[in-house]
Each structure stands twice: as structure tokens, then as C-alpha cells.
Amino acid sequence: MSPGADESLRRVIGPAGLAASIVNIVVGGSIFVLPAVLARELGTAAPAAYLTGAVVMGLVTLAFAEAGRRTVRSGGPYAYVESAFGRYPGFLAGLLTWLAVVFACAAVAAALVDSLSTMLPVLRLPVARGSALVLLFAVLAVVNIRGVVAGTRLASAAAIAKSAGLLLFVLLAARYVRADNLDWSWPTEAGGLGRATVLTMFALAGMEVPLCAGGEIRDPARTVPRALAGALAFVVLLYVTIHLVSQGVLGAGLADSEAPLADALAKGGQGGRALLLAVGGISMFGYLAGDTLGASRILFAFGGDGLLPRRLAAVHPVTRAPHVAIIVHALAAALLAMTGSFAVLAPIASVAIIVVYLGCCAAAWALAERSGLLAAVVPSLAIAALVWVASHSTGTEFLAVGGVVLVGSLVYLVGRRITA
């Protein structure tokens, strides 16, 4: 995008609109299972992980905003990295963005089926679980191949159901909270907070996405900081409230729950539990629909640019949807979901996200340094915070991400030789 291209756009997005967009993207299906996962890592001190995650994500999004002010091209993370470091690093940033998304998609799909298994025990059987996941992604692929309108409508409807369900949970479950279940005790393991923050990054990721609409934001210097602060405060308050209510109701049983919000609401009867499982299922399904819609376009773009097989850039002759890219993304996510649970897949997605964020913050630092040392302070702090979080990831998670980087690099080099 040329510098003058923004002049043709209407700057209509204010602080409230931008903050709402950020909240809509960030609050996804993971909140329906995250309280239990964090409780296993940090016990009753789990709310601290939301706060540390908010600090890290706040620095990262400010670094994104800094990079966005100095990058005249569209494209988000890979555009920032490519502008600062070149085509190959930009390709890796885009590839890791897709990796993070496909692992996140698989993690939420696994959480959806595992949550439903609390009411349909047959889904705990490997064959039934695998069949359910295949059917789930087949439906998602068909909906998205029908066209972008169908996929968008599904995601929008799920967003409304998700918001209503979370509000209903807080209102109904709060009456069953027991004060003694909220006693704070810090875990003895030194890595507890860092490991829990890795998982929290998964739940808070996405705050930078609406900033890509910089050309349509009114008075960005004032709007962006206000919207980021407001959205961060709201999301963290919402997540902490949901976690405290879940913990207050379930106590020590929170860590053992596969559907913590539904189990907490079950204190008022199985009807409430079934209702919240349904809301959670709709929310997760909507997240998956939106994920399939957006992530498949990354593969489509790579195919069109010749960075991956050009067949990925094929479009359906009737619906004009990138059907090959949609099918490939759905297959990859289904296979990953069948091999692991939310607790296994979400940290890998987090590591990929962290690596992408590190690249973007490094790009922001490199671009900002040209304008003076002071402008590089926020990216530097963000890099330090991300390194701290990454240090609590496991070797297996880094190997998974490194394997994709290696394969992607080989594909990139081979593609360059063929087109040279």
C-alpha cells in the first residue's frame, strides 16, 4: 500500500469501535476451558497469570502500533517483518502465523469435543472422538467453501451467543461461590507463573489484529492507546471474573474439570450445565468457523505469491472461495486435534505466536531506532517480556515450531530455485 493510499480511506474508527473490535477477536472459545488448565499450572494463584499476560500483551500491541506507524504496506506481522528484514524473514513470519492459527484451531476443536464428552461419554473413545473431529472440520470446510458470506454469518452469530453465554454464566453461577474456595496459595514450583503465562498468551492473542486497519482509525495517536487500554482492561477483568467464579464454585475440583464453566453452573441443576455446554459449543464452533475463514487465506496468499504450491491459490468455479486452501487447513487442524488435547496443543500455538511477536517487535525496534532511541523503548521491553515467557516453554513445543520453520525454509528455497 502506498503512503497516499490511506487518503482514500475514511477515518471513522474511534476508541470505542476499535476497543470493541479487539474484544470481539480476543474473547474466543478458550475461555470455556482455560480456568481449569490454569488451575493445574498455578492452583488458586491462577488469576496472576491473566495479569502478567496482560502486561506482556500490552507491550506487544504497543510495539505493533509503533511498527504500523512506520510501515506503509498492509499485511500485518509479515509486512512488518519483511519491511525491516527482507522477504525470507517475512515469509517465515507469515508461515508461523498460520502455524499458530492452525494449532489454535486444533486446540479449540479438541476442547469442544472433550467438553461434549462430559455429556456424551462415547466421545471419549478414540474412534468416536476422531470421527467427531473429522465431521466437525468437514462441516466447517463445506460452510466456508460455500463462500465468505456463509462463513462470516456463522462467526457473527456465534459471537453473539458467546457474549450472552458468558454474561449468563457470571450472573447465575456467582450465587454458588464459596469464600473459602478463593483462599490464595502460591505454588511451590518456581516456573508456575511463567508456564501459566504461556497459556494465557494463547487466550489474549489477537489484540494487534484490528490495528491493521490503521488507515481507517480516527486520530490514531489518541485512539490506539485508549482502545488498547480499554480492551485490555475489559478482557482481563472478564477473564479474571470468570475464573474467580469458577474457582469459587468448584474449589479444588476446578483443576480436574474438562468443562469448568458448565460444571460450575451445574451447582444449580443439570439444566444450567447443559445450557452452558451448548453455548460453549456454539462459541467454539463459531471461533473455528472464523479461524477457518481467515487462516485459509494465508495459505491462499502464499500459493498466489508462489511461496507455497500454486494449487493453494485455486478458487472454486461457483462460489469463488479458495477451496483447496480451506481443505488443506481443515485437514491439518483435524489431524492435530486428533493427536492431542487443548492442554497439549495450546502451548504449541502460544510458542508460535510468541515467535511471531518476537519477530514483529524486533521489526518495530529496527524501524523505530531510525527515528531515535526513545521510540525503541517499548519494542525492547516487549522483546524482554516475550523472552521471559518463551523461557517457560518446553523443548518439545520449540521442536514442533522449529520443525515447521525448517520445512518451510526448504519449501521457500526450492520455490526460489524453480522460479529463478
Task: Sort 405 into a burial class: Cβ within 10 Å, 0-12 / 13-18 / 19+.
Answer: middle
Question: Which of helix, strand or coil describes residue 337?
Answer: helix
pLDDT at residue 129, rounded to an integer: 93
Residue 400 is predicted with a pLDDT of: 85
This prediction has a pTM of 0.75
Residue at 285: amino acid letter: F
Mapping DSSP to helix (H, G, I), strand (E, B) and coil, where does residue 217 land? strand
Name which of 207, 227, 213 is nearest 68 in CA terms: 213
Please, are residues 29 and 112 in contact by the beta-carbon 8 Å criterion? yes
Distance CA 194, CA 65 (A): 25
Q: Please enumerate in sequence order all residues whose Cβ is within 8 A of that of 150, keeping only pairs 6 or more positions apart, or say none.
A: 143, 144
Query: Quick check: 291 and 104 in contact, CB under 8 A?
Result: yes
| The three three-digit cell numbers of residue 52, written as one number | 502478567
Which domains are present in the chain?
A: 9-419 (1.20.1740.10)
- Give pLDDT, residue 134: 93
Note whether 247 and 181 are within 8 A (CB).
yes
DSSP string covering 9-64: S---B-HHHHHHHHHHHHS-GGGGTHHHHHHHHHGGGTHHHHHHHHHHHHHHHHHH
Residues in the chain: 420
Cell of 402: 522449529
Place of cell 526513545: 374
Max distance between CA atoms of the chain, in angstroms, equals 68
pLDDT per residue of the chain (420 residues) written in tens, 0 to 9: 444 444 444 555 677 777 766 776 677 667 888 899 898 888 888 888 999 998 998 888 888 776 666 554 545 566 678 777 888 888 888 888 888 888 888 988 898 898 888 888 898 899 999 999 999 999 988 887 876 565 556 656 666 777 777 888 888 888 889 988 888 777 665 457 888 888 888 888 877 655 555 555 677 667 777 777 788 888 888 899 999 999 999 988 898 888 888 888 887 777 777 877 787 787 788 778 777 776 777 788 777 777 777 888 888 888 777 889 889 999 999 999 998 888 788 888 888 889 988 988 888 888 776 555 556 788 889 999 999 998 888 888 888 888 888 888 887 777 666 555
The number of helix segments (H) and strand segments (E) in the chain equals 15, 0
